[in-house]
Structure formats: C-alpha cells, structure tokens
Chains A and B, each alone.
Chain A
Amino acid sequence: MTLQSQLEAYLTRTWKTPARVTMISRIPGGASRETYRYDVEAGGRTRGLILRRDPVGSLIDTERKLEFAAFRSFHGGGLPVPEAVALEEDGAELERPFFIMGRIDGGKAQSPFTLPPYGEHAAAIGQQFYSYLGRIAAADPLTLPIAEATPAPSLDGCWKAALDYWEGVVEADEEHPQPIVRACIRRLRANPPPSARKLSVVHGDYRTGNFLHDGAGKIIALLDWEMAHIGDPLEDLGWAMEPLWCHGETDRVSGMLPKAEAIAIWEASSGLTVDPAAFAWWELFASVKGQAIWISSAKEYRAGGLKDPVLGLSGWYTARRQDVILADRLAALEALA
C-alpha cells in the first residue's frame, strides 16, 4: 500500500466518512520525524494537513505524545501554533506511530546555513520570536495538556534533570571520545545555576529554522515541539541564542537582534527577569545539548545504513562547529579556584 492509500484508509475509518488524500508530498525539515503535507477531501470539505510519522532512525529520540500535547497546549491561545488533529501511538494503518496536525500555508522556514537569514525583516521577526518565547515562558504548564504527558521537576531540580538527560545521551551514543563536551558537562555539574524562578513549558528546540515566516516580516507558525517538556524557561532562551543558530554573526542573536534587546523583549513578554549567572549556565548547557544531539546523529547515521544525509551532516560538520563553540565557551570561564 502507498502512504496515500494508508492515510485514506485511516481517515475514512476514524472520520466515518470517505476521505480522499491528494497532493501528498514529503517536506524537508522536522528531522526527528518524517513530515508530509497533503490535502484531504471529506464530507464536502477540503483541508490542508500535516502528517508527522516516526522514522526508522531519527535525529532526536522523542515522544510523539509530548509533541502532540504541546500543540494542544498552545493552539488557539494567541500563539501561531497549528491545531493537533489526531494521534496514533500504535501506528494504526500507517504501521509506525504518527500524529496529524493542521497545516499553516504561506510561510517558509529558514535554514540555519543561510546568510543573511531574514534580511530587512530581521528586527521585526526578532521582536515576535522573542516575544512569543516569553509568552510560552509565562504560561502555567500545570494547567496545560502537556502536564499530562511529562513530569514537572522541582524548581531547583530543573537543571539537574536537563543535564542528566543529555549527559546520558552522550554516554549512550558517543562513538569517538569527546573530551570537550565532557569537560563542559563536568563544569556545569560542579557549578549548578540558581534555582528556576518558575516552571514553564520548554519548547526544547525554539530556534531559527523551526518557525515559518511569511517573507514580509511576520511569523505565522511555531513548529517542531518534539523536545517539549516542563523546566526552567531559561533553557529555551539559551537554546534560541545558541551561536550555532546565529549564522556566524557576533552582533545579533538568532540572526535577528542584539542580545540585550532580545532579552529585554523576552523579559517584557514573560514578566520574568534574566539572572545573568543562571543564564550563563543555561547558555553553556545549550551548547552541550547541541553536541549531544549531533553525537546521536552520527550514531543514527551509521545505524541507518548511511542513507540519511541530514544525520551525516549533523553528526559531522555541525558537531565540529559545536565543538568550536563549546571550546571557546569553556576557555572563557574562570580558572579553577
């Protein structure tokens, strides 16, 4: 059976009306899951949808239930987040776990490899990008559907939960010894940050490339919530400003705004203030998390028979860029006392 006929069988059964799928096309991006856009005609109506199906190998090991819950948490709440339509954890007619979400048309995602990424619209996009992130941080996660899909750490346990997780990924997936990221992990563990000021939904992969903009300065969709969890909101802020996503620029974060301006927008939107000492910890953590992902990519690339070039590029070129960032960050830290 083709994917198109599998989808038609699934939608016809669950919607209890004949469904016809057209224009199905796999789209690049969203590397942790196979992502397809398609139209479905059912009940006299045509609707644009997105299918996210678990791959055989993946850039990031994530729970589709979590991503689905994140969409449910923020769709319709004033942020440009697609609607969560259906979740099938056993795969049903599609053989592998998947979920379906609403499609937002008319936008494009920017590759982290392009320069300049947003041209004359950089500041306008940056204003929305950091404002939206502040609104995610401001929400009470315990009142949202995501609380049903992931545990909430204690305020002073956020950093440890995050560091334990990504150190575990390095331990499990490292195929060539990585002294730089290991030194950074030890430094983070020996110098924990102040306790989180509040618990927030952490998007987990909030960065350049994971949102759609309309080409005229407006963000129209916040995507790729597959690493969402509950934690310290500074985790997302550090990840958003990770130099890997800055297109080689040193005077603007995310290729959008000066760092101080971006932080001010986030603070105004979230109602929180950024503790510089805590944020320095989360910035180094972001680079560690990045390297853990690229280490996993290299392992998955081999395990998958070398067939996914995105995994290959991530586990090689991106890993080396990340090592440069990590080594520079580590060298800039104070000497041992």
Chain B
Amino acid sequence: MTPTVPELLMGNFLCLMEPPPPESSGDFLQSRIGVTGMISLLCAQEAERGIAARVWENGAIREMLTAAAGAYGHRFADAAKGEDRDLSLAALDAANAALRRSLIDLHIAVEVARDAALDTAIRGLYVKMADARRLDLPPLPAG
C-alpha cells in the first residue's frame, strides 16, 4: 500500500518547514498542521503493527496460491515460493506486490471457472487482509 511511512514522515517535515504565503497562514495552516498530526499518530500504529501485518498477509497469500496450484497451474505455486527474510517494510512491500499480482490472476481464473468455493475463500482472505492493515483514527470531537 502506498504511500510508505518514511514518505509520510518526510512529507510532514517538508510540509511544516516551508513557510506558507501570507494568505495561507490562518485556518488553512491550522488544518494542515492538524492533518500532519493525524498522520504522525497513524504512523505510530504502522510502526507497531505494519511489519506483522505484512508478514501475515504475505504468508496467507502464499498459502492460498499453493493450495490452488493443483487446480489452477503450477505458476501459482512458483509465485508462492520464497519467504520473508528481510523484515524491512520496503522488502516486505516488494514481495507483497508480486504476491498480490498473482492473487489477482488467481482470482480471475477462479471467477472464469465459476469456482464458488475458492471464490468465497478468496473473498474471505480479502476481509482479513483489509482488517490486518486497518489504521484506527480516534473520533475527533465535532467543532
């Protein structure tokens, strides 16, 4: 998923270090500062959970591809090979991109085959993937 935590924190820095033109120094600047604060808060969550979420998702997609390879072709087993030895966010995201592309291809093949059971399983995996990457913003009080 983009953008990455390093990009977001760099963006916060760039946003705050550049002096705004006079017409942007009131409500607009206050709002921007509030948004940078929200990003920082959420980056703390990503720092805590992001690696675990990616390792889990990559493993879950590998399992799905491996299990489907018998019916849908060995290319899916080949795509599932490997493991996440480099646990940096960048390396995990690179592996995740390749795995997600294979998952998209598998899902298309499953739909063409009208394979209801595997389609339901993939849709269930999507729910877990989305939940694992969820970020929780506490509700802000209405002004």
Contacts and interface: CB of A to CB of B under 8 A. Distances in A.
B23 A331 contact: no
Contacts of B129: 180, 323, 327
B104 A179 contact: yes
A313 B143 CA distance: 20
A201 interface: no
Given A306-B10, A324-B130, A316 B143 contact: no
Contact of B1 (A113, A319, A337): A319
B127 interface: yes
Interface in B100-143: 100-101, 103-104, 107-108, 111, 114-116, 119-120, 122-124, 126-127, 129-131, 133-135, 137, 139-143
Interface in A95-136: 108, 110-111, 113-119
A301 B28 contact: no
Contacts of B42: 313, 316-317
A28 B27 contact: yes
A28 B11 contact: no
Nearest to B5: A316
Nearest to A297: B3
B111 A2 contact: no
A9 interface: no
Contact of B139 (A114, A177, A298, A313): A114
A186 B108 CA distance: 9
Given A306-B7, A327-B130, A177 B93 contact: no
Contacts of B134: 320-321, 324
B32 interface: yes
B5 to A, nearest CB: 9
Name B's interface SS.
Answer: helix
A247 B24 CA distance: 28
B14 A306 contact: yes
Contact of B126 (A179, A313, A321): A179
A199 B3 CA distance: 38
A115 B139 contact: yes
Contacts of B115: 336
A168 B101 CA distance: 18
Given A3-B21, A323-B130, A336 B11 contact: no
Contacts of B107: 179, 183
B126 A183 contact: yes
A320 B2 contact: no
Interface string A324-337: 10111011010111
Interface of B: 1-3, 7-8, 10-12, 14-15, 18, 21-24, 26-28, 31-32, 35-36, 38-39, 42, 93, 96-97, 100-101, 103-104, 107-108, 111, 114-116, 119-120, 122-124, 126-127, 129-131, 133-135, 137, 139-143
19 contacts: A3-B21, A28-B28, A114-B139, A118-B142, A176-B100, A179-B126, A180-B130, A305-B14, A306-B14, A307-B15, A308-B15, A317-B38, A317-B42, A317-B135, A326-B130, A327-B123, A331-B123, A336-B111, A336-B115
Given A25-B24, A316-B42, 10 more contacts: A4-B23, A114-B142, A115-B142, A301-B11, A306-B7, A309-B11, A309-B32, A316-B3, A327-B129, A335-B120
